[in-house]
Amino acid sequence: MQDTFFDPHQRATVQAAMARIIPTDDTPGATEAGTVDFVDRYLSGVDFIYAKPDGSGFEQLTGLRRDAWRQRIDIIREVYVKGVTQLDTAARERHAREFVNLEPGQQDEILRDLEKPYQQQEAELERARATLYGAPVEPALQQTSAEIDLGFVPLLALHTRQGFYADPIYGGNRNRIGWDVIGFPGPASLAEVFNGTYSTLEYFAEDREHPIRKDPS
Amino acid sequence: MTTTSGAKPDRVDVCIIGAGASGAAAAKVLTERGLRVVALERGPWRTKETFGGDELANINRYNLWPDPLLNPRTVRDSASGETRTELFCPVPQMVGGGTVHWQGWLPRFTENDFRLRSIVGDLPGTTLADWPITYDELEPYYTQVEWAFGVSGAAGANKYESWRSKGYPCPPMPQSRYAQKFHQGCDKLGWNSFPTPQAALSQPYNGRPATVISAFAQQHGDPTGTRSSALNVFVPDAVATGRYDLRPDCYVREITVDSRGAAKGAVYQDATGTTYEQEADVVILACGAVETARLLLLSKSAQFPNGLANGSDLVGRNVTFHEYSAAVGTFDDPIYAWAGGGYVSASSFEFYEHDDNRGFVSGGHMAVAGVGIPLPINWSLPNRPAWGAGAKQMDREYFNHSLAAAMVVHDMPQHDNRVALDEEVKDAWGLPVAQITLTPHQNDLAMGRFLIDRSAEILEAAGATSVQKVYIDRITGNCSHQHGTTRMGNDPDTSVLDRWCRSHEVANLYVVDGSPFPTGTGANPTLTIMANAWRVAEHIADGRAATS
């Protein structure tokens, strides 16, 4: 079964860019967590979209659902292919080298510049709303994200985060590195949630009873 | 009319479109009263074995959310505004509907919610209306639903709740650390707070085991089957009668009418693409307020050229969605806001009731939760950079140390805020999608600002080291709450349905989801949706018994 998408250069470039999204410092980063493996397999087709809930493998998609995922993966692949080209074009123009061979600071600068058009677009939309409604503008909480609407850098940031923090069955978060970095005691495997043995009750307040203050009146 | 290709199924007493919270509640009541019911549900009938603790699949990859490529919606800020294609106010489309992936905050509305127009008078720009029913009429059905579900809560702990004939069947869920902070803040301010009543079992109930306290709960299906949902409670009850023919993956394209203008049945397409017409004596719509309005508007006929039951041009209008936002706080001591899934909560109705002194109408439910979905991928703080060393540092420092003091904005009904058909955009079944036109009222924004300022005060009183206020600037549909598109009332000129949620124009057509709500109120609607569906179903069964 095909389980990769990138050619070696694309893979190296995405890996280098991901290392800037979640950098390695005194704790592991995207590189150690294998986030490039996560996205490379995601883009390989529609065979790794949903893990089976008991952790025994992946769902086989059928019908309209499969068609929609095929369409979505095609769109996202194109964003990556163009994005890698843009990174190299900018790197050659400024430093006469490919993106993978730049210093981290130089890579950050290129990523920031590539991100700007999307940020400006968003800022303009928010300014328009602020003028219209006279309210300060902040992002709404709890919104579902639509991957296919994102530009390259925001998409890369999203996938790096997903590859760092998703259940290890998806190919990233190797040895639960991402969870350890932030202190999330995730389940040993999807099976532990599936069979009901995973509980977070020990992380509740020591006093398990709510204080009930009934009005005497 | 759509042509059919499949053999005609047997006519039944009642055909219910949808098997979510309201459709399954109505099905339970009707089948237990001896009526034969066919339910047509557009989505799958998933069992607990298809759900898992998988944040990526459930939150980010539409495992439960509708896929926007198959089920798009469009939205615009005004009738002259630019149209965007957006997954606006999604609700899972499957047996159980939104109750499949919720954590189920189940507060009751209060007595005044049913008469807000009488209390506050006219609010310019709005279509504020009293409900044609009272709290007293609904109270027995609140109790029925709470006891069927095994809701966990403490009667009387909310000092602003209205009278109740019976307490909660289960004691409150255990106290999370985020609930504890909320109680501490409210206590310091002298404000009442209470354990949020929840659709979960704090102890075994009715042969069901206590709910597992997983981190994968909010917006996740439940692989253990221990949370309370329409899927876990009402559907099995209805199936047990032997009179509930629940057909999943059956997409209704049109409600047909007979020559006298009565609802005849539903034309639907099954998973193989075969089209059938299911006839019934009574047709009940339970698709959620957006899709119910869309289906009525799609059901055009000679008698109803503007859509079924829409002689008044009110179908789809006065839509309200709530808006969820918060003040976000960080703390020195760990909060672990993912524990229990982030929504095993504490609440306050301190600013729920209307107060003339505040400069806006009504108020809303305040409650504590994790920030958004407080799991590793989707947790965030409002000012976190998108990437880089700074983003990583904030993840490390605050993932376990943050929470949201949140609120539900009671957005005001407006005539021009509406659901219509977008003839330019079709879904995967080739039908025009719902087009939402939505402008916030100044009252919505003022209420949001006030409640979030109060939320921030709770956080400060609880000892937060930082507080950020996320004011709302529009209604984004982020609650998955939908109401008002076929409002009920006594006057056919200003309402679509009568007090029994029956169409003024079509005598055997009912709506039992959030569509009948004249106002959205400031509280989570699903308990009231289910209680009202129960009430209407009893009324339908009573009517059948009287005539047979």
Interfacial B residues in 198-217 facing A (CB < 8 Å): 212-216
Decide if B87 and A144 are in contact by the 8 Å CB cutoff: yes
Domain definitions of chain A by residue range? 8-184
Q: Are residues B174 and B48 in the same domain?
A: no
Mean pLDDT of B140-155: 98
DSSP string, B245-312: EEE-S-EEEEEEE-TTS-EEEEEEE-TTS-EEEEEEEEEEE-S-HHHHHHHHHH---SS-TTSTT-TT
The pLDDT of residue A122 is 66
Q: Are residues B470 and B487 in the same domain?
A: no
Mean pLDDT of B101-124: 97
Residue B422 lies in a domain: no
Query: Is residue B271 less than 8 Å (CB to CB) from chain A?
Result: yes
pLDDT over 50 at B534, yes or no: yes
- The two three-digit tokens of residue B245, written as one number: 């023919």
Decide if B55 and A165 are in contact by the 8 Å CB cutoff: yes
Interfacial B residues in 467-486 facing A (CB < 8 Å): 469-474, 476, 478
CA distance B177 to chain A (A): 5
Contacts of A194 in chain B (CB under 8 A): 52-53, 223
The pLDDT of residue A146 is 77
Question: Binning pLDDT at 50, 70 and 90, where does residue A27 land?
Answer: very high
Q: Are residues B313 and B329 in the same domain?
A: no
DSSP secondary structure code for residue A209 in this structure: S
Q: What are B364-393's pLDDT values in tens digits?
A: 999 999 999 999 999 999 999 999 999 999
Pick the residue of A35, A46, A153, A200 with the most B CBs within 10 A to test the interface with B by mutation: A200
Residue of chain B whose Cα is closest to the Cα of A135: B473
pLDDT over 60 at A135, yes or no: no
Q: Is B77 left (phi over 0), alpha (psi -120 to 50) or beta?
A: alpha
Pick the residue of A138, A147, A195, A197 with the most B CBs within 10 A to test the interface with B by mutation: A138
Beta bridge partners of B283: B15, B509
CA–CA distance, B160 with B109 (Å, rounded to integer): 10
pLDDT over 70 at A125, yes or no: no
Q: What are B11-28's pLDDT values in tens digits?
A: 999 999 999 999 999 999
- The two three-digit tokens of residue B339, written as one number: 């524990």
Query: Is residue B172 less than 8 Å (CB to CB) from chain A?
Result: yes
The pLDDT of residue A126 is 58
The pLDDT of residue A137 is 38
Q: Are residues B490 and B353 in the same domain?
A: no
Cβ neighbors of B288 (< 8 A, separation 6 or more) are B18, B20, B91, B97, B98, B482, B513, B514, B515
Q: Are residues B48 and B190 in the same domain?
A: no
pLDDT over 50 at B423, yes or no: yes
pLDDT over 50 at A131, yes or no: no
Residue of chain B whose Cα is closest to the Cα of A58: B57
Query: Is residue B155 less than 8 Å (CB to CB) from chain A?
Result: no
Mean pLDDT of B327-335: 98
Mean pLDDT of B417-439: 97
Contacts of A115 in chain B (CB under 8 A): 386
Decide if B388 and A21 are in contact by the 8 Å CB cutoff: yes
Decide if A207 and B175 are in contact by the 8 Å CB cutoff: yes
Question: Binning pLDDT at 50, 70 and 90, where does residue A127 land?
Answer: low
Q: How many CB atoms lie within 10 A of CB B507?
A: 12
CA–CA distance, B214 with B344 (Å, rounded to integer): 11
Residue B156 lies in a domain: no
Identify the weakest region by mean pLDDT among A41-50, A62-71, A146-155: A146-155
Cβ atoms of residues A138 and B476 within 8 Å: no
Question: Least CB-CB distance to B213: which of A54, A133, A200?
Answer: A200
The pLDDT of residue A191 is 98
Query: Is residue B52 less than 8 Å (CB to CB) from chain A?
Result: yes
Pick the residue of B48, B78, B333, B387 with the most A CBs within 10 A to test the interface with A by mutation: B387
DSSP string, A77-128: HHHHHHHHHHHHHHHHHHHSS-GGGS-HHHHHHHHHHHHHHHHHHHHHHHHH
Print the SS3 string covering B478-508. Answer: CCCCCECCCCECCCCCCCCECCCCEECCCCC
Q: Are residues B27 and B145 in the same domain?
A: yes
Q: Is B339 left (phi over 0), alpha (psi -120 to 50) or beta?
A: beta
Residue B314: name the closest of B299, B293, B295, B291 by CA: B293
DSSP secondary structure code for residue B418 in this structure: E
CA distance A93 to chain B (A): 23
CA distance A66 to chain B (A): 11
Decide if A68 and B428 are in contact by the 8 Å CB cutoff: yes
- The two three-digit tokens of residue B354, written as one number: 């209307």
The pLDDT of residue B244 is 98
- The two three-digit tokens of residue A154, written as one number: 């925001």
Residue of chain B whose Cα is closest to the Cα of A104: B388
Question: Least CB-CB distance to B399: which of A164, A183, A193?
Answer: A183
pLDDT over 50 at B523, yes or no: yes
Contacts of B63 in chain A (CB under 8 A): 50
Looking at per-residue pLDDT, the higher value among A212 and B137 belongs to B137
Decide if A203 and B212 are in contact by the 8 Å CB cutoff: no
Phi, psi of B206 (to 5 degrees): 50, 40
- In this structure, the strands spanning B466-469 and B12-17 are unpaired
Interfacial B residues in 357-386 facing A (CB < 8 Å): 371-373, 375-377, 382, 386
Mean pLDDT of B523-534: 98
CA distance B315 to chain A (A): 27
Contacts of A108 in chain B (CB under 8 A): 388
Contacts of B179 in chain A (CB under 8 A): 205, 210
Q: Are residues B72 and B118 in the same domain?
A: yes
Which amino acid, one-letter code, is at B47?
A: T
CA–CA distance, B522 with B412 (Å, rounded to integer): 10
Residue of chain B whose Cα is closest to the Cα of A162: B377
pLDDT over 50 at A132, yes or no: no
Mean pLDDT of A63-79: 97
CA distance A49 to chain B (A): 8
- The two three-digit tokens of residue B374, written as one number: 């407080």
- The two three-digit tokens of residue B358, written as one number: 């505040």
Mean pLDDT of A155-183: 98
The pLDDT of residue B74 is 96
Residue B36 lies in a domain: yes
> Which H or E element spans position A192?
helix A190-194
Q: How many CB atoms lie within 10 A of CB B190?
A: 8
CATH number of the domain to which B213 belongs: 3.30.410
Q: Are residues B363 and B279 in the same domain?
A: no
Residue B281: name the closest of B12, B10, B9 by CA: B12
Mean pLDDT of B284-303: 98
Question: Binning pLDDT at 50, 70 and 90, where does residue A117 land?
Answer: confident
pLDDT over 50 at B434, yes or no: yes
Residue of chain A whose Cα is closest to the Cα of B184: A211
Question: Least CB-CB distance to B376: which of A108, A182, A208?
Answer: A182
pLDDT over 80 at A143, yes or no: no
CA B134 → CA B22, B61, B113, distances in Å? Answer: 19, 42, 9
Residue A33: name the closest of A180, A183, A191 by CA: A180
Question: Binning pLDDT at 50, 70 and 90, where does residue A156 land?
Answer: very high
Q: What are B189-234's pLDDT values in tens digits?
A: 999 999 999 999 999 999 999 999 999 999 999 999 999 999 999 9
Question: Least CB-CB distance to A198: which of B214, B396, B473?
Answer: B214
Mean pLDDT of A99-117: 96
Average pLDDT of chain B is: 97
CATH number of the domain to which B25 belongs: 3.50.50.60
Residue B420 lies in a domain: no
Q: What residue numbers bound the domain in which B305 lies?
A: 1-76+91-149+229-320+482-548
Q: Are residues B312 and B328 in the same domain?
A: no
Interfacial B residues in 501-540 facing A (CB < 8 Å): none
Contacts of A133 in chain B (CB under 8 A): 440, 445, 473-474
Q: Which residue has the tokens 């949201």?
A: B404
Question: Binning pLDDT at 50, 70 and 90, where does residue B5 land?
Answer: confident
- The two three-digit tokens of residue B430, written as one number: 């080739």
Mean pLDDT of B96-108: 97
Contacts of A165 in chain B (CB under 8 A): 55, 375-377
Residue B119: name the closest of B295, B355, B463, B332 by CA: B355
Q: Are residues B314 and B332 in the same domain?
A: no
Cβ atoms of residues B345 and B371 within 8 Å: no
Mean pLDDT of B169-196: 98
Question: How many A-B residue pairs are in contact by the CB < 8 A criterion?
Answer: 237
pTM of the model: 0.96
CA distance A203 to chain B (A): 6
CA distance B296 to chain A (A): 25
pLDDT over 90 at A139, yes or no: no
How many structural domains is chain B composed of? 2
Contacts of B371 in chain A (CB under 8 A): 141
Residue B37: name the closest of B51, B27, B22 by CA: B27
The pLDDT of residue A214 is 62
Q: What are B40-80's pLDDT values in tens digits?
A: 999 999 999 999 999 999 999 999 999 999 999 999 999 99
- In this structure, the strands spanning B12-17 and B275-285 are parallel
The pLDDT of residue A140 is 46
Q: Are residues B241 and B333 in the same domain?
A: no
Provide the percentage of residues in chain A whose pLDDT is more than 70.
Answer: 85
Cβ atoms of residues B195 and B346 within 8 Å: yes
pLDDT over 60 at A215, yes or no: no
